[in-house]
Structure formats: C-alpha cells, structure tokens
Amino acid sequence: MDSPIHGALKLLFTVFCMVSVVVVAVASPESSASRSSSPAMSGQINSNSILVALLDSHYTELAELVEKAMLLQTLEDAVGNHNITIFAPKNEALERDLDPEFKRFLLEPGNLKSLQTLLMFHVIPTRIGSNDWPAHSKSARQSTLSKHVLHLAGHHSGEKTVDLANVVHPDAITRPDGVIHGIERLLIPQSVQDDFNRRRNLQVISAVKPEGAPEVDPRTHRLKKPAPPAEAGSPPALPIYDALAPGPSLAPAPAPGPGGAHRHFNGERQVKDFIQTLLHYGGYNEMADILVNLTSLATEMGRLVSEGYVLTVLAPNDEAMAKLTTDQLSEPGAPEQIMYYHLIPEYQTEESMYNAVRRFGKVRYDTLRLPHKVAAQEADGSVKFGNGDGSAYLFDPDIYTDGRISVQGIDGVLFPPEEVEAKDAPKAVQPTKVVAKPRRGKLLEVTCRMLRTFGQDSSFTACH
C-alpha cells in the first residue's frame, strides 16, 4: 500500500505534465504565425528594394523608360524570385548621345515590345557585384531577362566592361535584393536594332518612288508614248481624270513590296499589331472591341491585306462611339455597315490627306461600303470628314502607319449623307381629326342674345 506522501508526488507530477502540454499548444500557433509573417518568407517588395532605389535614383531617364514600358510588375516578379543586377546608362547617354530617330522609334506606341526588350537587356537575374566580376583578360557570358546574352569582361587597366559599354560607377546602388552598376552608354540588342533598320528600310514599308503620270489617249483611254518634257508651270496636256489610275472599286492593285511573285503578306499579324497599338494608345477600346468581338472585320481586314490591298482606317474614339444609340447598333449587320464606311481602300497618312484637301478643296474617298464615299475638306488647320452635324475631325493623326495599314483617329462616327438627311428630316405630322360641333344658326344666336338682354326667359330649347 502506497504511503500518502508517495501518492501526493504522483498527483503533482500528473498536474505538471498537463500544464506543460497546454503551454506548448498555446505557444505553437504564435510561433508559426511569427515565422509566416517574417520578412524573409513574405516575398513582397519593401522600401529597401532595388526597384525603389532605381525609381528614386539619379538615373531618372532609365526610370521613366521602365514606367513607360510597363515593366514594373515584371521586375517585381524577378526580384521576388532572385537577386538582380541592373546596368543603368547615365542620363546624358539617353538625352544627348542617343540618336533622336532611334529614341522616337522606341517611344512610338507600336514599338512597345522593342522598348521592353531593350530595357530587359539591361537586367541580369543574378547578383553580380564588382567583386564577382571576371578577372583580368577574362570574360563571362550572362543571360538577361530578354533572353539575350551579355559579355562581362575585366581588363588589366582595372576597367570593367559589359559588351561595348564601360562601367563608370560599379556598385552605384546596392540593396539586399540587387545591385545597380552605372554604365556610359545604352546597350542595344541586335533584334531591336534590326527592327529599327527594317522600319527605316523603304522596301519593307512599301514606299513607292513617285513617277510621272503616264499619257493616256482620251479616246481609247490607253497608254501612249511618254509626253515630251514640258516647262515648269505649264498646264496639263490631259484632264486630270485621265491621269488617275483606276480606283480600288475597279481593279485594286496589290501593295508593292517584298513577297515574291504572289505578293503575299501576313495580313492577320499586321491587323493584330494595329489593334494592339490602338489598345496601348488609349481611347479607342470600343473600336477595337467592335472589330474583334462584335464582328469578324478583323479577320476580313487581315485577308484583304494578305491579298495585297492597302487600307486606311478612320477610327472613332471612345467618346464618339458612346454617342451611338441602341437603335443604330441593334439592326442585323449595323456594326459592320458602320465600320465599312470608316475603311478607305487606299493608303493615306495625315500629311497626304491634308495636302490633298489643301490643294483640291474637297476630296471624296471610296469606302468599303459601296457605293458610298466619304468627303474630306480642310477646316481649322486639320482635315474634316463628312458634312454638317455628322462631321468629324482628324483628332489623333498617324496612330499606326506601316505602309499597308494606316490608322487615323477621329472624334466622331461618320454616316453616309443619305442616312444623315433621313435622320435629320422632320417627321410628317398626322393631322388630328377634329369633331365639328353642331353650329346654331346666326339668326337664332341673335334672338337668344336679345332675350337675355331684356331679362326674359326663352322657350327655345336651342338657347339652353
């Protein structure tokens, strides 16, 4: 039989074990919560990040380009996964040393991918400090975020280079998640340089060398031998109509340029490119939505361009599209007919249209909504399409021009003159049928009035 003292010790030991279990159970959630909320495990960008340091640094030109290229989210993902190394060109390299034509090419909305590739070419998804640089007379290849390769090299003189640029400020900014090196010039990948060269190449953009109009026989409308050179300022030998080539409604000629005997172009890619440009430009989302989602016009336009046609798109902005009523869009085929009237089967830029209206006063362009034409004239230093209240001004010129598709932004939706007149015409008012009241005779009215004057009651029922 156990003694009382031994039983009391066993009871105390049991109570101590139960208290220990409760304390551990209460403390474990707090410890796990503290581990999950620690900065090392969160992976979020904090104020000490290398991206925050870049935006607040004196490399302002590079920081602005990163924001314009919409790369902040991409760089945040890269920083969240691993350390990064940024090669930052000095501001002078982007302001004064860079070719103005190349800088204009980078900032065009249609060349956003080239700008993103150029900037990601300056970022390596690995931390490379000045101490990690290759030794003298050695080089190392490093892959960038743009999938291109940079060559890092060290020299006997102590200089460090990355491709053709010297590192002028090694370890200019260091943070726990990355490092920034200042370089003397901009690094340009070969793919971006090729895109720029192709854009400047006249053969690729289908530029046609202007030639004199051929001489046409006014009786047969066939070509004759070239006319002898005339003095400057002399009147034309033939009417201007005979010098014009047949329009697209008669015999649409394929767009000139490379492509072999078949003259085949990737029209779907070009249409997709100009629609993406509209979205990046801003203010033309409704137009893009109609072309892609509400209709199959994007596919039809791609087929036309593939066959060699050229197109000029008069694109109404979102404010103009918002004024369309439900009745105008609810009829079957109404969106297609509206858009067909905004497609001109010619390649026209803002400069060419303005020169035409300045010279001829009023120009009528064919549209894909046959046989309707859209009229253009000069107004307030710009081009105005349509007439009266249904007119629209050339608001955003040359949003997209690649030699085959030209997109010109306008501030209104155009309709053929016949529809505008029908809409504005006053509606015929139906005459209201008036029920004629039975009129009493003139003599009876005079008699009743005399009787009331003398204060006598009349026995005529008509007086009552």
**Domain annotation covers residue 228:** no
Predicted TM-score (pTM) of this structure: 0.39
User: What pLDDT was estimated at residue 150?
Assistant: 92
Q: Same domain for 192 and 276?
A: no
User: What pLDDT was estimated at residue 333?
Assistant: 85
E runs forming strands in 300-391: 311-316, 343-344, 362-366, 373-379, 382-385
Q: For residues 28-41, b (16+ Cβ closer than 10 Å) or e, as one string?
A: eeeeeeeeeeeeee
- Choosing from 410, 429, 448, the residue where a domain stops is 410
**Domain annotation covers residue 432:** no
Residue carrying the six token digits 């109509």: 241
Q: Same domain for 94 and 192?
A: yes
- Choosing from 201, 233, 248, the residue where a domain stops is 201
Q: Same domain for 188 and 273?
A: no
Q: Identify whether the C-beta of residue 344 lies closer than 8 Å to the C-beta of residue 414.
A: no
Q: Same domain for 174 and 306?
A: no
Nearest-angstrom CA–CA distance, 171 and 182:
8
Q: Same domain for 141 and 275?
A: no
Q: Please state, as a whole number, how many other Cβ atoms lie within 10 Å of the Cβ of residue 322.
A: 10
Q: Same domain for 190 and 285?
A: no
Ramachandran assignment for 317, one of left (phi > 0), alpha (psi -120 to 50 degrees), beta (any other): beta
Q: Identify whether the C-beta of residue 121 lies closer than 8 Å to the C-beta of residue 142.
A: no
**Domain annotation covers residue 255:** no
Q: What are phi and psi of 44, to 5 degrees?
A: -90, 155
Structural domains of the chain, count = 2
Contacts of 87 (CB under 8 A, 6+ apart): 122, 123, 124, 150, 162, 165, 167, 180, 181, 183, 187
Q: Please state, as a whole number, how many other Cβ atoms lie within 10 Å of the Cβ of residue 120.
A: 22
User: What pLDDT was estimated at residue 145?
Assistant: 92
Q: Same domain for 61 and 178?
A: yes
Q: Same domain for 196 and 282?
A: no
**Domain annotation covers residue 63:** yes
Q: Same domain for 283 and 396?
A: yes
Q: Same domain for 56 and 192?
A: yes
User: What pLDDT was estimated at residue 399?
Assistant: 93
Q: Same domain for 177 and 76?
A: yes
Q: For residues 231-254, b (16+ Cβ closer than 10 Å) or e, as one string?
A: eeeeeeeeeeeeeeeeebeeebee
Q: Same domain for 189 and 324?
A: no
**Domain annotation covers residue 430:** no
One DSSP character per residue, 91-120 reads HHHHHTSS-HHHHHHHHSGGGHHHHHHHHH
- Choosing from 149, 176, 201, the residue where a domain stops is 201
Q: Identify whether the C-beta of residue 345 lies closer than 8 Å to the C-beta of residue 309.
A: yes
Nearest-angstrom CA–CA distance, 138 and 134:
6
Nearest-angstrom CA–CA distance, 233 and 193:
44
User: What pLDDT was estimated at residue 313?
Assistant: 95
Dihedral sign for Cα 377, 378, 383, 384, please: negative
**Domain annotation covers residue 181:** yes
* CATH number reported for the structural domain that contains residue 331 in this entry: 2.30.180.10
**Domain annotation covers residue 254:** no
User: What pLDDT was estimated at residue 85?
Assistant: 94
**Domain annotation covers residue 248:** no
Structural domain harbouring 168:
50-201
Give CB contacts under 8 A, 24+ apart, made by 72-77. Answer: 74/120, 74/145, 75/51, 75/123, 76/45, 76/51
Instruction: List average pLDDT for each run of 10 residues in the chain, which is 464 residues long.
Output: 47 48 41 37 64 87 89 88 90 84 87 92 92 82 91 87 90 91 92 85 51 64 67 65 48 46 69 90 90 88 88 94 85 88 93 90 90 91 88 92 92 84 54 47 60 59 54
3-class secondary structure per residue, 147-208: CCEEEEEECCCCCEEECCEEEEEEEEEEECCEEEEEECCCCCCHHHHHHHHHHHCCCCCCCC
Helix (DSSP H) and strand (DSSP E) numbers for the chain: 19, 14
